[in-house]
């Protein structure tokens, strides 16, 4: 376990999780907002010390409901990028809770100076979350 709240647990993604991650990216409601990665690219990210690849789990059910990726852990300017957050079960607060957990970790535990991201303008759900 990496981080947890009352509703979600964030844990490091392992190789067995990559098929789940790729299946989320392939879903039409997700793929229109991201550029899906190949299985190999996700596996490389797991081994990259500059990247933190996490599975989002529903804490009560211990079931994966999404994933998130941040990068820049080795950035000397302490600028972290939220590369991606993708949630399977939308509208249940998993994305918001995961974002708040990682944001808190980035600034309080990791002591980064900046957390940044790109969002497509037509991704209204994400845009509202990031505001």
User: pTM of the full predicted structure?
Assistant: 0.94
Q: What residue spans define the domains of the chain?
A: 3-130
Average pLDDT for 103-115: 96
Please report which confidence band the pLDDT of residue 124 belongs to, taking 50, 70 and 90 as the band edges: confident
Please report which confidence band the pLDDT of residue 123 belongs to, taking 50, 70 and 90 as the band edges: confident
Encode pLDDT of 89-104 as tens digits. 899 999 999 999 999 9
86, 67 contact by CB (below 8 A): yes
Give me the CATH topology for the region 3-130: Aminopeptidase (3.40.630)
What is residue 91's DSSP assignment?
Answer: T
Encode pLDDT of 32-74 as tens digits. 999 999 999 999 999 999 999 999 999 999 999 999 999 999 9
Percent helix, strand and coil across the chain, each to the nearest 5:
35, 25, 35
């Amino acid at each position: 376990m990496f981080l947890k709240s009352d509703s979600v647990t964030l844990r490091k993604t392992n190789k067995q999780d990559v098929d789940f991650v790729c299946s989320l990216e392939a879903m039409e409601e997700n793929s229109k907002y991201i550029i899906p990665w190949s299985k190999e690219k996700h596996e490389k990210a797991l081994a990259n010390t500059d990247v933190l690849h996490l599975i989002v789990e529903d804490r009560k059910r211990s079931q994966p409901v999404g994933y998130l990726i941040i990068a820049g852990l080795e950035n000397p300017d302490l600028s972290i990028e939220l590369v991606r957050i993708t949630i399977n079960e939308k509208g249940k607060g998993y994305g918001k809770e995961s974002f708040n957990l990682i944001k808190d970790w980035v600034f309080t535990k990791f002591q980064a100076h900046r957390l940044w991201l790109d969002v497509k303008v037509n991704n209204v759900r994400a845009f509202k979350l990031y505001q």
